[in-house]
Structure 1
Amino acid sequence: MTSALAHIQTLPSWLVGRVAARGRALVAEALAAEGLKLAHHAVLAATDEYGPVAQAELGRRLGIDPKDLVGLLNHLEGAGLLLRTPDPADRRKNAVTLTPAGEAALTRCAALAETANAAFLSPLTPAEREQLTALLTRIHETAAGSRPRS
């Protein structure tokens, strides 16, 4: 008979959580070389994709509490990686844009994250990596309420 703990440790939800924690830790270690955290990387990437973007909209898109976002933006602006300027559409709001240094940091962070993920997935063959990513994407999309890919 399997113990209750052994049973829990074989549940896919438990395994995914443990594996995700390890993956996040590897990427976090890699980004630390840039003096950045995972959330900083996400803010840079979202600013690159949506910018110039209103600060409040950036927080909504990333699901980051406005108070937490201010701290992240202060750090990134202090490091010269982004700018907050009055939004031309509504001067009561701040528009967030990447600086050239921010674009360069985002490129370096993306490379660091790719390297960390390659190490993370190193026990798998390339085909297994693709399959794992496809399966996790399907679960994520279904859990998020979007239509699964076929």
Structure 2
Amino acid sequence: MSNTQNFRVFRELNLVTSALFRAADRDLLAREGIRTAHQAILFVLRVEDGLTSSEIANRAGLSKTRLTGLADTLETKSLITRDRGTQDARQQVIKITNEGRAVVDRTNGWVRNLNASLMSQFDESEKAVIERFLREVHRTARDIEAT
């Protein structure tokens, strides 16, 4: 049993997040030639197509700068297209292509299986605590960003 008083949550979250995304990126790269951050963009566009870069970055939890590089790769792979905004030419409107939709369709099951695997060792009450904890971490992060 661990000593919860000395448990360093911030450090553990960093370690586990890094390890999880390294493994997921490696698997997704082998399957589809993209990383999880690319997949997040495609998932956002699958739900609502034709969003601006800023909207996608916000919904995917990415910086606008990072989104630009990721979008370059997705465009090179013909998974998205970028056009100038009709109301503001400085804005880019990004749309998912048919191939991008196919990638989302192929990887949806992979994500569901990963989520199920991550939660498989926990009962319903533990899952509720994990969900509450992660939502609180997210809220705290937003609060830190706002200051």
**TM-score scaled by length of structure 2:** 0.72
Shift of 1:57: 4.5
Distance in 2 of aligned mates of 1:17 and 1:9: 16
Which consecutive unaligned segments of at least 5 residues does structure 2 have? Answer: none
Shift of 1:81: 1.1
Corresponding residue number in structure 2 for 1:12: 9
Shift of 1:37: 0.7
Distance in 1 of aligned mates of 2:96 and 2:129: 34
Distance in 2 of aligned mates of 1:25 and 1:103: 24
The alpha-carbon distance between structure 1 residues 40 and 144, as it changes in their structure 2 partners (threshold 3 A), is same
8 Å CA contact 2:81–2:97 kept in 1: the answer is yes
8 Å CA contact 2:53–2:64 kept in 1: the answer is no
Structure of higher RCO (CA pairs closer than 8 Å, 6+ residues apart): 1
Corresponding residue number in structure 2 for 1:36: 34
8 Å CA contact 1:45–1:106 kept in 2: the answer is yes
| Per-residue Cα deviation, 1:19-76 (whole angstroms, up to 9, x for no partner) | 323332343233221111121012212333453122354345544243x433311211
The alpha-carbon distance between structure 1 residues 98 and 24, as it changes in their structure 2 partners (threshold 3 A), is same
**After the TM superposition, which parts of structure 1 deviate over 6 Å for at least 4 consecutive aligned residues?**
6-9
Task: Provide the alpha-carbon RMSD of the alignment.
Answer: 3.0
**TM-score scaled by length of structure 1:** 0.71
Corresponding residue number in structure 2 for 1:128: 126
Which consecutive unaligned segments of at least 5 residues does structure 1 have? Answer: 1-5, 146-150
Shift of 1:134: 2.3
The alpha-carbon distance between structure 1 residues 29 and 123, as it changes in their structure 2 partners (threshold 3 A), is farther
**Whose Rg is larger?**
1
The alpha-carbon distance between structure 1 residues 129 and 34, as it changes in their structure 2 partners (threshold 3 A), is farther
8 Å CA contact 1:26–1:117 kept in 2: the answer is no
